[in-house]
């Protein structure tokens, strides 16, 4: 399913995907339409622009993943939307591609996203590294049930840095003398930990709000 508010772009992406043999089950031109149609059409992959009318792409990502955790979201956006890209990734998107990508890159990214692989650009790797750094720098709340900020292992940091420096998974595998699959697993784990942390934080926030309300009553 393809979500973008520019009809020409949306149709071109849908056509490219269809020509590559993929089944485009729906398209949508705004955020609300996207949420409704994703629920009705149940796509495997949602190709999502972040800059949407009626409902921001980040919110669309949150709602469709909450409704169907098996749905994979590939964010396709213009550069310079860093905060939004990071937020989308934390709320469940597993891939990010710039709109300047070629048709071949897009088709490859959609296929990989469908298979459950994390699709990173160097830019996303830099953002994820920065996010872990920020989480580590936040003052610890220090309560026993407080979730610790997620941390990268040395190997994960090493792999992410190489992705951010523009090396392909194949080149990274060669340099670190590990398998392609292992590189992929490391990259995926860096996203998985961020998403898990995000879910835990949301649940905690909800519980705190719930308790507050009970106190008020």
Contact call for residue 149 and another protein (CB under 8 A): no
Angle between helices 169-176 and 180-216 (to 10 degrees): 110
What are the two backbone dihedrals, phi and then psi, of residue 82, each rounded to the nearest 5 degrees?
-55, -50
Q: Looking at 38-46, 61-69, 129-137, 195-203, which segment touches another protein (CB under 8 A)?
A: 129-137
- How far apart are the C-alpha atoms of 73 and 48, rounded to whole Å? 7
- Secondary structure E strands in 21-103: 27-28, 45-48, 72-77, 95-98
Instruction: Give the shortest CB-147-to-another protein separation in angstroms.
Output: 21
Residue with smaller CB distance to another protein, 165 or 181: 165
Contact call for residue 194 and another protein (CB under 8 A): no
Residue found under tokens 């031109």: 29
Residue with smaller CB distance to another protein, 41 or 149: 149
Cα-based distances in Å from 148 to 65, 119, 124, 136: 24, 26, 23, 9
User: How many chain residues are in contact with another protein, going by CB under 8 A?
Assistant: 23
Strand order in the sheet with 27-28: 27-28, 2-3, 45-48, 72-77, 95-98
Among 164, 173, 187, 191, binds another protein (CB under 8 A): 164
Q: Looking at 4-12, 14-22, 65-73, 124-132, which segment touches another protein (CB under 8 A)?
A: 124-132
Residue with smaller CB distance to another protein, 134 or 209: 134
Contact call for residue 198 and another protein (CB under 8 A): no
List contacts with another protein (CB under 8 A).
Answer: 82-83, 86, 121-123, 125-127, 129-131, 133-134, 137, 161, 164-167, 171, 174-175
């Amino acid at each position: 399913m393809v979500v973008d508010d520019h009809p020409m772009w949306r149709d071109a992406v849908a056509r490219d995907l269809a020509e590559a043999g993929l089944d485009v089950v729906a398209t949508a031109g705004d955020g609300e339409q996207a949420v409704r149609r994703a629920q009705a059409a149940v796509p495997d992959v949602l190709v999502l622009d972040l800059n949407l009318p009626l409902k921001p792409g980040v919110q669309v990502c949150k709602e469709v993943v909450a409704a169907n955790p098996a749905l994979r979201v590939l964010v396709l956006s213009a550069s310079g939307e860093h905060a939004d890209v990071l937020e989308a990734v934390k709320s469940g998107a597993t891939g990010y591609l710039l709109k300047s990508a070629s048709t071949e890159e897009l088709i490859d990214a959609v296929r990989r996203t469908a298979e459950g692989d994390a699709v990173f650009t160097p830019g996303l790797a830099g953002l994820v590294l920065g996010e872990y750094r920020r989480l580590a720098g936040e003052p610890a709340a220090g309560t026993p049930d407080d979730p610790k900020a997620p941390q990268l292992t040395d190997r994960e940091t090493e792999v992410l840095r190489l992705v951010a420096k523009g090396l392909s998974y194949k080149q990274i595998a060669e340099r670190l003398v590990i398998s392609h699959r292992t590189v992929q697993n490391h990259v995926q784990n860096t996203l998985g930990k961020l998403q898990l942390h995000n879910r835990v934080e949301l649940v905690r926030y909800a519980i705190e709000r719930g308790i507050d309300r009970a106190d008020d009553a």
